[in-house]
Chains A and B, each alone.
Chain A
Amino acid sequence: MSLNISKYYLENSRNRVLAKFMSSDEYFEVKIPSDTAEGQAIQARIVEVLEVREYPVRDVFAVRLALEEALVNAIKHGNGMSLDKDVDIKYWISDERVRIEIQDQGEGFDRTHVPDPTLLENLERPCGRGIMLMGAFMNLIEYNEQGNKVTLEKIKGVAPEQPEAEVQGDEEEE
């Protein structure tokens, strides 16, 4: 197991990696440049571990979606795609839950200033939808005070608390 993982990261020699194992849990720290392709590789790695640990399909979908949104936010909006800025990713995976921290080198943002993307006047604006989706699919989404680090958590097999009526209620009115 550890051999495979070492090999994976050796192949990504640009990534500075610290790998630790605590009993059967997996913990990683990895630093990637502000390149979405690098983000995709990490995403694939985490998804693979979840599948090996038999996380339900729905959890894998949720984590993949949240990771995509968080990494794109960090790389594009946080670091402005600047290749001399890195994104720090830490993740812990056990059989019960997955926790991911993603930190960029940007100035951060104030979450309360992100417009509500569901309001009619904002429907066509591109911002805010990613954060909303992360919140809806993960059990936890938390930003640090500066707003340049997001923590995401998904508990295996446990649906996030949602305003279910809104999600399920497929109203037909305009």
Chain B
Amino acid sequence: MAAGHRRVDIEEVSDVTVAKFIDKKILDEGNIQIIGTQLFGLVDEDGRKKIILDFSNVEYLSSAALGKLITLDKKVKKAKGKLKLCSIRPDIYEVFAITRLNQLFDITETQEAALEGF
């Protein structure tokens, strides 16, 4: 795995940034670091304030990945922006529900619904 390899596809839909995970499994420490760097860069470097994270491809997610999402949420809130999560399959949603992170994050079923909400 090449360092710095993109793990997230970025797309602009009007003033909203849609970041779609490429990997099926967000487990491996190295991947999680790269994903974290890429996502944090959206806020810290690019100054983006409206971000949607699209989980359509994600089949596995570990608690280390949750940690990165929490930090991202914190950064976005600090920048007075808004973060939404969408297209999370039921198994993965359960991971959010068990850890009560479904109450921290704004989660919608589809990307369209997330876009409408901004």
Residues of A within 8 A of B (CB): 36, 40, 58, 61, 64-65, 68-69, 72, 76, 117-118, 123-124, 126, 129-130, 132-133, 136, 166-168, 170-171, 173-174
Contacts and interface: CB of A to CB of B under 8 A. Distances in A.
Interface stretch (B7-15, B47-55, B79-87, B101-109): B101-109
A123 B60 contact: no
Interface in B73-101: 74, 91, 94-95, 97-101
24 contacts: A36-B29, A36-B30, A61-B91, A64-B60, A68-B60, A69-B62, A69-B63, A118-B99, A118-B100, A123-B70, A124-B70, A124-B74, A126-B70, A129-B63, A129-B66, A129-B67, A130-B62, A130-B64, A132-B98, A133-B98, A167-B97, A168-B97, A170-B102, A173-B103
Nearest to B98: A136
Given A118-B100, A129-B99, A133-B99, A68 B62 contact: yes
B25 to A, nearest CB: 8
Scoring B30, B70, B74, B94 by chain A CB atoms within 10 A of each residue's CB, the highest score goes to B94
Given A118-B100, A124-B70, A170-B102, A133 B63 contact: yes
Given A118-B99, A136-B98, A167-B98, A58 B64 contact: no
A123 B101 contact: yes
Contact of B29 (A72, A133, A170): A72
A72 B64 contact: yes
Nearest 4 pairs of A and B residues by beta carbon: A129-B63, A118-B100, A130-B63, A126-B67
Interface of B is mostly: helix
A118 B102 CA distance: 11
Contact of B95 (A65, A166, A173): A65
Scoring B27, B30, B67 by chain A CB atoms within 10 A of each residue's CB, the highest score goes to B27
Contacts of B63: 69, 126, 129-130, 133
B44 interface: no
A70 B30 CA distance: 17
B74 A133 contact: no
B99 A132 contact: yes
A109 B94 CA distance: 27
A68 B62 CA distance: 7
A138 to B, nearest CB: 12
Contacts of B103: 171, 173-174
B97 A170 contact: yes
Contacts of A61: 59-60, 91
